[in-house]
Amino acid sequence: MGGAGGERISRLKGRVEIIRSDYGGEQTLAGKSPFVVVANRLPVDEVTDDTPAARMSGGRRWRPSPGGLVTALHPVLVEHKGTWIGWSGTAGDAPEPFEMDGITLVPMALSDDEVERYYEGQSNATIWPLYHDAVEPPVFRRRWRDAYREVNRRYAEAAAEVAAYRATVWVQDYQLQLVPAMLRELRPDLRIGFFLHIPFPPIELFMQLPQRTEVLRGLLGADLVGFQQRLAAQNFLRLARHLLGTPYSGSTLEYEGRKVKAEAFPISIDVAEMQRLADNPLVRERAAQIRAELGDPKTVILGVDRLDYTKGIEHRLKAFRELLGEGRLSVPEAVMVQVATPSRERVEHYQALRVKVEREVGRINGDFGRVGVPAVHYLHQSYSRSELAALYCAADVMMVTPLRDGMNLVAKEYVAARAEHGGALVLSEFAGAAGELRQAFLCNPHDLDGVKDALIRAVNVDPAEARRRMGIMQRHLRRHDVAAWASDFLRSLGDLDDH
């Protein structure tokens, strides 16, 4: 291969020989990690500290970022003196590696161009919409693909350098789909897992991707490829057969003399943590305050989403507007609170969505609100875990209506927060969570009448029936929390035959 592609491969092959020479023996090398997590982001956020002491020291301060993945993997990382590789979230030079809460953190550098092309471009304007059923048309640009390849290469090299001999490396999500194959080329001794947190599309959609063979081969570098749903794993196996002629049996395929397994591992939440938050007297007090601030309505309907076109925010607003227009719901007896967390605000699709959502909110409030009593309380802000828990406790009905979602953890958080208080969950059939939370009021978000009927059933459900449904879902979540998810994946990865 000539040109830039050939130069990249030559450089990578040279890197292979350098790294392999360091890992020729069977011993675990001092200072290397037997367990490595590779993710787009580090599990910490930088804290702005503008005090004179901080300026004089030139130091940077960090705090753990909330998230189920961090919670689930923290004990494993601490036990095995593990390492987490990821981007700090700020463009420019990367900070030096540091330790926090017993984990070694290795920051990766991304330039402004790479943030634009690898992250906002290829990851979030090409792969994200394509994998979410092309709800919005994906954009394909060659320079984005080049940046994606280059950043994935650097992540693979970083993992190769910190991993001990025969270590376990767990690569996370759609931003890093080329890493498994690149890492295997560098370090064939490693056991490599990959987990995709978003949906994996059917063949006919995936085939649109100009980088399709490279991405598929990248994923096949892993020993175990994990998905949220069984159908996604089947899509992957069928794609490998269609695109590469790779045979498979059950959940296992043969690729380049190795066995690669593709299975479903539905991710979950830290159920105990959410229940502790919901039981906190201060949170309960805040929930009562929220209801009072809303005018003590009979029914509080809540939506909590990232402002993303896959989440179906417009659809639920339209359903609410039509129910108000038909008189099946009325203000102030019923109010909606829609939290739309800012997301990817430099990506064009997201800018357009914000305009549409805010226009629909304005229309509803103009038609059905009163002075001081809006029909929809729209909040384009981020909230703390405790404030979200208070909102969950305050809401009689939770609406989770994505057009496509790998899992949707908000649905699970609402269920976990409700304790014995009942409540009702309206849930899209196209969220991965619908496969587990069968006692929710399921709906097709594309069917506006179906969404309206599900919402009315949830609003009018008998309290005893609501508690029964919620109790069944809570028992399921307690048995299948995020720690069980991580344990199941790592056990399956560890049980695979040696390669």
The order of strands in the sheet holding 299-306 is 376-379, 334-341, 299-306, 397-400, 424-428, 441-443
Domain ranges of the chain: 3-268+484-495, 271-479
* 61, β-bridge pairs: 47
State residue 430's pLDDT score. 97
| 3 state DSSP class of 244 | helix
Contact of 41 with 89, CB cutoff 8 Å: yes
Tokens of 474: 């809570």
State residue 217's pLDDT score. 98
* Shared fold status for 3-268+484-495 and 271-479: yes
Q: 3-state DSSP helix/strand/coil percent for the chain, to nearest 5?
A: 50, 20, 30
State residue 278's pLDDT score. 96
State residue 21's pLDDT score. 43
- C-alpha distances in Å from residue 304, one per residue of 46, 257, 295, 339, 377: 25, 46, 20, 5, 12
CA 125, CA 120: separation in Å to the nearest integer?
6
State residue 372's pLDDT score. 87
Q: Indicate which residues carry an active-site annotation.
A: 197, 405
Q: Which CATH architecture has domain 271-479?
A: 3-Layer(aba) Sandwich (3.40)
Residue partners of 425: CB distance under 8 A and separation at least 6: 397, 398, 400, 411, 414, 415, 437, 440, 441, 458, 470, 473
CA 177, CA 214: separation in Å to the nearest integer?
9
Average pLDDT across each block of 10 residues of the chain; the chain has 499 residues. List them in order. Answer: 39 46 45 92 79 54 74 83 93 90 93 96 96 94 97 98 96 98 97 97 97 97 98 97 95 95 96 95 97 96 94 96 97 96 77 91 94 93 93 98 95 94 96 97 97 98 96 97 94 80
Tokens of 382: 């981020």
CATH class of 3-268+484-495: alpha beta
397-400 and 299-306 strand pairing: parallel
